Chains A and B, each alone.
Chain A
Amino acid sequence: MNRYLKLVNFEFNRFFKLYVVLVIVTIIMQIIAVIVESRRYMQEAENVIYGEMMSKADFIKNYEAFTMQRIVQSNWFYWSIAFCAVILLIYVFFIWYRDWLGKNSFIYRLLMLPTARLNLYFAKATAILIFVFGLVALQLFLFSIETQLVKWMIPAEFRVDLPMSEYIRFNYLSIILPSSIFDFFIFYGIGIIAVFIMFTAILFERCYRLKGIIFGISYGLVSFGFFLMPLLINTFVLKNYFFPLELFVMEVIVCIIILLGAIWIGNYLLKYKIRV
Chain B
Amino acid sequence: MKRMILQGGIPVIEVKNVTKKFGRKEVLKGVSFTAEKGQITCLIGINGVGKTTIMQAIMSLIPINSGEIFIDGSKLTKDSYEKIIFIPDTITMPPQMRIGDAFAFMDDFYQSWNQKRAEELLEFFKLEETERISELSKGNTAKVNMLLGLALDVDYLLMDEPFSGIDIFSREEIANVFTSHLIEDRGVIITTHEINDIEHLIDKVVLIDNGVVLKEFNVEEVREKEGKSVIDVLREVYES
Residues A105 and B105 in contact, CB atoms below 8 Å apart: no
Cβ-based interface call for B177 (8 A): no
Cβ-based interface call for A152 (8 A): no
Cβ-based interface call for B67 (8 A): no
Cβ-based interface call for A180 (8 A): no
Residues of B within 8 A of A102 (CB): 95
In this complex, what residue of A is CB-closest to B84? A112
Residues A103 and B90 in contact, CB atoms below 8 Å apart: yes
Residues B94 and A105 in contact, CB atoms below 8 Å apart: no
Residues of B within 8 A of A117 (CB): 78
Q: How far is the CA of A109 from the CA of B148 in the complex (A)?
A: 10
Interface residues on B, range: 20 to 34
**Given A115-B78, A275-B63, A276-B62: A103 touches B91 (CB 8 Å cut-off):** yes
Residues of B within 8 A of A105 (CB): 88, 90-92
Map CB proximity to A onto B85-101 as digits: 1 under 8 Å, 0 otherwise.
11010111111000000
Q: How far is the CB of B86 from chain A (nearest CB, A)?
A: 6
Cβ-based interface call for A272 (8 A): yes
Q: How far is the CA of A105 from the CA of B81 in the complex (A)?
A: 17
Residues of A within 8 A of B92 (CB): 104-106, 108-109, 112
Within 8 A of B (CB), among A239-276: 272-276
Cβ-based interface call for B217 (8 A): no
**Given A10-B105, A112-B85, A272-B63: A104 touches B94 (CB 8 Å cut-off):** yes
Cβ-based interface call for A113 (8 A): yes
Q: How far is the CA of A117 from the CA of B94 in the complex (A)?
A: 19
Residues B133 and A114 in contact, CB atoms below 8 Å apart: no
Cβ-based interface call for B82 (8 A): yes
Cβ-based interface call for A151 (8 A): no
Residues A3 and B56 in contact, CB atoms below 8 Å apart: no
Q: How far is the CB of B166 from chain A (nearest CB, A)?
A: 14
Cβ-based interface call for A169 (8 A): no
Residues A273 and B94 in contact, CB atoms below 8 Å apart: no
In this complex, what residue of B is CB-closest to A115? B78
In this complex, what residue of B is CB-closest to A108? B92
Q: How far is the CA of A6 from the CA of B108 in the complex (A)?
A: 8
In this complex, what residue of A is CB-closest to B63? A273
Residues of B within 8 A of A115 (CB): 78, 109
Residues of A within 8 A of B59 (CB): 111-112
Cβ-based interface call for B79 (8 A): yes
Residues B111 and A114 in contact, CB atoms below 8 Å apart: yes
Residues B93 and A106 in contact, CB atoms below 8 Å apart: yes
Q: How far is the CB of A271 from chain B (nearest CB, A)?
A: 8
Q: How far is the CA of A104 from the CA of B89 in the complex (A)?
A: 10
Residues B79 and A104 in contact, CB atoms below 8 Å apart: no
Residues of B within 8 A of A108 (CB): 61, 86, 88, 90, 92
Write 12 A-B pairs (CB below 8 A) sorted by A numbering.
Answer: A102-B95, A104-B90, A105-B92, A106-B92, A108-B61, A109-B92, A112-B59, A114-B78, A273-B63, A274-B62, A275-B56, A276-B88
Measured CB to CB, the residues of A under 8 A from B are 3, 6, 10, 14, 102-106, 108-109, 111-117, 207, 272-276
Further 12 A-B residue pairs, CB within 8 A, beyond A103-B91, A112-B61, A273-B63: A3-B109, A102-B95, A104-B95, A104-B133, A109-B93, A113-B81, A114-B79, A114-B80, A116-B78, A272-B63, A275-B61, A276-B88
Question: What 7 A-B pairs come out closest when comparing CB atoms?
Answer: A109-B92, A114-B81, A108-B92, A275-B62, A276-B61, A114-B82, A104-B95
